[in-house]
Chain A
Amino acid sequence: MANLRELTRKKDLLAGGHRLCSGCGASIVVRQVLMAADTPVVVGCATGCLEVSTTVYPYTAWKCAYIHSAFENVAASISGVESAYRVLKKKGKVEREFRFVAFGGDGGTYDIGIQALSGALERGHRMVYVCYDNGAYMNTGIQRSGATPFGAWSSTTPVGKVTTGKMQERKDLTAIAAAHNIPYVAQASPSHWKDLVNKAEKALNADGPAFLNVIAPCPRGWRYPSDKTILIAGLAVETTFWPLYEIENGTWKLTNKPRERKPVAEWLKLQGRFEHLFAPENEALLQEVQTRLDRKWENLLKLCGES
Chain B
Amino acid sequence: MAKTVALTGNSACAYAMRQIDPDVVAAYPITPQTAIVEDFATFVANGNVDTEYVTVESEHSAMSACIGAAAAGARVMTATSSQGLALMWEMLYIAASLRLPIVMHNVNRALSGPINIHCDHSDSMGARDSGWIQIFSENAQEAYDNTVQAVRIAEAAQVRLPVMVLLDGFIISHAIDRIELLDDEVAKHFVGEFKPVYPLLDVRNPVSWGPFDGLHGYYFEHKRMQEEAMKRAKGVIAKVADDYAKISGRSYQFFETYRLDDAQFAVIVLGSTAGTARVVVDRLRESGVPAGMLKLRVFRPFPAAELIDVLKHLKAVAVLDRSEPAGGLGGPVFTEVRSAMYYLDQSPLIANYIYGLGGRDVGMFDIMKVYSDLHDFVEKGTVEKVINFLGAKE
Contact = CB atoms under 8 A, between A and B. Distances in A.
B200 A69 contact: no
B218 A80 contact: no
Nearest to A39: B203
B212 A86 contact: no
Contacts, number: 168
B347 interface: no
Contact of A69 (B57, B74, B91): B91
Contacts of A84: 23-24, 52, 68-70, 72-74, 76, 201
Given A64-B206, A115-B57, A57 B64 contact: no
A66 B26 CA distance: 20
Given A76-B64, A77-B65, A80-B64, A69 B210 contact: yes
B212 A80 contact: no
Given A66-B206, A87-B51, A80 B201 contact: no
Interface stretch (A116-124, A148-156, A218-226, A228-236): A116-124
A65 interface: yes
A65 B206 contact: yes
Contacts of B94: 69-70
B67 A77 contact: yes
Given A84-B23, A87-B52, A119-B58, A40 B67 contact: no
A91 interface: yes
B71 interface: yes
B71 A81 contact: yes
A82 B56 CA distance: 13
A133 interface: no
A69 B26 contact: no
A265 to B, nearest CB: 39
Interface of A: 40, 42, 44, 51-52, 55-58, 60, 62-70, 72-73, 75-88, 90-91, 93-94, 96, 98, 115-116, 118-119, 122-123
Interface of B: 23-24, 26, 50-52, 54-58, 60-62, 64-74, 76, 90-91, 94, 98, 200-203, 206-214, 217-218
12 contacts: A42-B201, A51-B212, A57-B212, A60-B211, A66-B207, A67-B68, A68-B209, A80-B64, A83-B52, A83-B69, A84-B23, A84-B69
